[in-house]
Chains A and B, each alone.
Chain A
Amino acid sequence: MIRINNVSMKFNLGVEKDNSLKQMFIKILSFWKRKKKKKDYFWALKDVSLDIKKGEVVGIVGTNGAGKSTLLKVVSGVYKPTEGSVEVNGKISPMIELGAGFDGELTARENIYLNGAILGYSKEFIDERFEDIVEFSELRDFLDVPVKNFSSGMTAKLAFSISTIVDPEILIVDEILSVGDIKFQEKSKHKMMSMIEGGTTVLYVSHSLESIEKLCTKVIWLDHGKVKMIGDSEKVCGAYYKEIMGREKKRGKKE
């Protein structure tokens, strides 16, 4: 279903890049002075290989900056890997950043269509499922309000409802189950579970080891862009927890 072959992803560091003439000029000058060039890139992913079969629910754990989101973006096609390749068979529904396609000036109704189009739905499909989306989002009374006037919880609810309305073959989830109020959280968890039970292949990133252990059949542990451990969810989560808390303890002793 998803095959990741030796994928590496290199990023340039820092915000300032050579994308202005001034920067180019400075670079040329500093070259003259033979200043040693600083290393200004890093590998967000290094030689990651992974096979995911149909119906598998794969969790990804790791500290901040370990490359979890980068891996999801590589799989969903946002990033093209610097090295290696990714093969994906099946329709992907990415839930990486909810509401990325919202335009604050437009109303909720208009945004449902815009965001649906961004996710690759057709007009007929959205027409057909419009009621379901509105129903699930619990925002019927706010349909004609510009999204910029929404609270962040409301925006997230709307976004979640739009992106889960499909029955995707592959679902990519980046820490979104903690959206909205308690009632909505329960509802979204249910929705998720029913998708998983329906045979959807899932790639799931979360910092909640509890939910990972509960949902996933297989877990990958990423550390500084490399795969540190891969396998049974209980085993990997346990090892990960031990290592992280161990680091904390060591640090605690030093201080």
Chain B
Amino acid sequence: MKTIKNVFINFKKYSFLMKQLIIRDFKVKYKRSVLGVLWSILYPLMVMSVMALVFSNMFKFSMEGVNYLVYLMSGLIIWNYFSEATNNSLTAVVGNFSLINKVYIPKYIFPIAKCLFAGINFLFTLIPFFLIVLLSGNSAEGTKCAINIYYLLIPVIFLGALMFTIGIGYFLSTVTVFLRDVLYIWGIVLTMLNYFTPIFYSLTILPVWLQRIFRLNPLYIYINSLREIVIFGNRPTALYILAGLGIGFVTMIIGMIIFRKKQDKFVYYI
């Protein structure tokens, strides 16, 4: 109980540092670029346009009665967030070693700062995303998306995804300290996961037994909940939303426990 209280006190005390670290990441990222922070919106928009072009025109992926563009985008924004946040978390501890070795700072701040940084970038991508939701589609084909009351559930989905990513981020930043190979291995894992997550295809094209396995992918849960609301205007079942939250929470706690157990050994390994 006391440690939990301490964590909260520390969290308050160091929230300013966290803010500074995130601001630093932003400033350094867009240093000397003419468009600056605008890239946070433009970059994903352009990458998504390329993907949309490739999958809907070249490979002719399409789904009956479904706004494929929104389908693709909703998968991509969550995927891109996950991929950016975990990639940044890999070096969250290793990359800040010059600090960790010299000044006392609670180390758990670094992975969270990286995930929040990616999270803010993610919020920027929501602007083009919702523009596409509103502007795309064709009412004659029934692919027009409408804003509905269930949009209120979207932040809950994102919260689940954020916690899930923070958990993975903690785990990755810890393992990287002891085993630098993870830097490369994670790239391979991400590529694999990218194809195993139904981002540009629908689960239904897979055999049933494979569908069952794929449904267990937490990223799919978040993406699918978002799609249910945005594309189909359905309310995802409470159980489904709770599952997303629960998985996120448990992952975060496990990641934190691993990080906490190992953090005193970091200084020996860098």
Assess whether A20 is in contact with B179, with CB atoms less than 8 Å apart.
Answer: yes
Q: With A106-B28, A113-B20 given, is the CB distance from A12 to B268 under 8 Å? A: yes
* Chain A 1-14 per-residue mask, 1 if CB under 8 angstroms from chain B, else 0: 00000000001100
Taking the nearest CB of chain B, how far is it from the CB of A138, in angstroms?
24
Assess whether B24 is in contact with A100, with CB atoms less than 8 Å apart.
Answer: no
Q: Is B209 part of the contact surface with A, judged by Cβ < 8 Å?
A: no
B-side contacts of A106, CB under 8 Å: 24, 27-28
Q: Is A123 part of the contact surface with B, judged by Cβ < 8 Å?
A: yes
B-side contacts of A92, CB under 8 Å: 104
Q: With A19-B180, A114-B20 given, is the CB distance from A119 to B103 under 8 Å? A: yes
Taking the nearest CB of chain B, how far is it from the CB of A68, in angstroms?
15
Q: Is A122 part of the contact surface with B, judged by Cβ < 8 Å?
A: yes
Q: Is B59 part of the contact surface with A, judged by Cβ < 8 Å?
A: no
* Stretch among B94-102, B197-205, B251-259 lining the A interface: B94-102
Taking the nearest CB of chain A, how far is it from the CB of B178, in angstroms?
5
A residues 216-244 with Cβ under 8 Å of B? none
Assess whether A79 is in contact with B24, with CB atoms less than 8 Å apart.
Answer: no
Assess whether B104 is in contact with A76, with CB atoms less than 8 Å apart.
Answer: yes
Q: With A78-B102, A118-B99, A118-B103 given, is the CB distance from A103 to B180 under 8 Å? A: no
B-side contacts of A120, CB under 8 Å: 13-14, 17
* Residue in A closest to B19 when the chains form the complex, CB atoms: A117
Assess whether A11 is in contact with B269, with CB atoms less than 8 Å apart.
Answer: no
B-side contacts of A113, CB under 8 Å: 20
Which residue in A21, A100, A110 is a CB contact (below 8 Å) of B103?
Answer: A100
Assess whether B17 is in contact with A118, with CB atoms less than 8 Å apart.
Answer: yes
Assess whether A122 is in contact with B16, with CB atoms less than 8 Å apart.
Answer: yes
B-side contacts of A186, CB under 8 Å: none
A-side contacts of B181, CB under 8 Å: 20-21
Q: Is B260 part of the contact surface with A, judged by Cβ < 8 Å?
A: no
B-side contacts of A118, CB under 8 Å: 17, 20, 99, 103, 105
B-side contacts of A94, CB under 8 Å: 102-104
Assess whether A96 is in contact with B102, with CB atoms less than 8 Å apart.
Answer: yes
Q: Is B212 part of the contact surface with A, judged by Cβ < 8 Å?
A: no
B residues 79-125 with Cβ under 8 Å of A? 98-105
Q: Is B264 part of the contact surface with A, judged by Cβ < 8 Å?
A: yes
Which residue in B28, B103, B264 is a CB contact (below 8 Å) of A101?
Answer: B103
Assess whether A96 is in contact with B103, with CB atoms less than 8 Å apart.
Answer: yes
Q: Is B267 part of the contact surface with A, judged by Cβ < 8 Å?
A: yes
Assess whether B99 is in contact with A100, with CB atoms less than 8 Å apart.
Answer: yes
Assess whether B180 is in contact with A77, with CB atoms less than 8 Å apart.
Answer: no
Assess whether A117 is in contact with B17, with CB atoms less than 8 Å apart.
Answer: yes
Assess whether B28 is in contact with A105, with CB atoms less than 8 Å apart.
Answer: yes
B residues 11-37 with Cβ under 8 Å of A? 13-14, 16-17, 19-21, 23-24, 27-28, 31
Q: Is A80 part of the contact surface with B, judged by Cβ < 8 Å?
A: yes
Q: Is A87 part of the contact surface with B, judged by Cβ < 8 Å?
A: no
Taking the nearest CB of chain A, how far is it from the CB of B195, in angstroms?
25
Assess whether B101 is in contact with A105, with CB atoms less than 8 Å apart.
Answer: no
Taking the nearest CB of chain B, how far is it from the CB of A231, in angstroms?
29
B-side contacts of A110, CB under 8 Å: 23-24, 27
Q: In the complex, what distance in Å separates the CA atom of A114 from the CA atom of B105?
A: 13
Assess whether B104 is in contact with A19, with CB atoms less than 8 Å apart.
Answer: no
Q: Is A144 part of the contact surface with B, judged by Cβ < 8 Å?
A: no
A-side contacts of B17, CB under 8 Å: 117-118, 120
Taking the nearest CB of chain A, how far is it from the CB of B98, in angstroms?
6
A residues 82-102 with Cβ under 8 Å of B? 92, 94, 96-97, 100-101
B residues 132-185 with Cβ under 8 Å of A? 177-181
Task: Sample 24 A-B pairs with CB under 8 A, ordered by A number.
Answer: A19-B177, A19-B180, A19-B269, A20-B179, A20-B181, A21-B181, A76-B103, A76-B104, A78-B100, A78-B104, A94-B102, A94-B104, A96-B102, A96-B103, A105-B28, A106-B28, A110-B24, A114-B20, A114-B24, A117-B19, A117-B21, A118-B103, A118-B105, A119-B103
Closest 7 CB pairs of A and B: A77-B104, A100-B102, A117-B17, A117-B20, A97-B102, A80-B264, A105-B28
Residues of B bordering A, CB below 8 Å: 13-14, 16-17, 19-21, 23-24, 27-28, 31, 98-105, 177-181, 264, 267-269
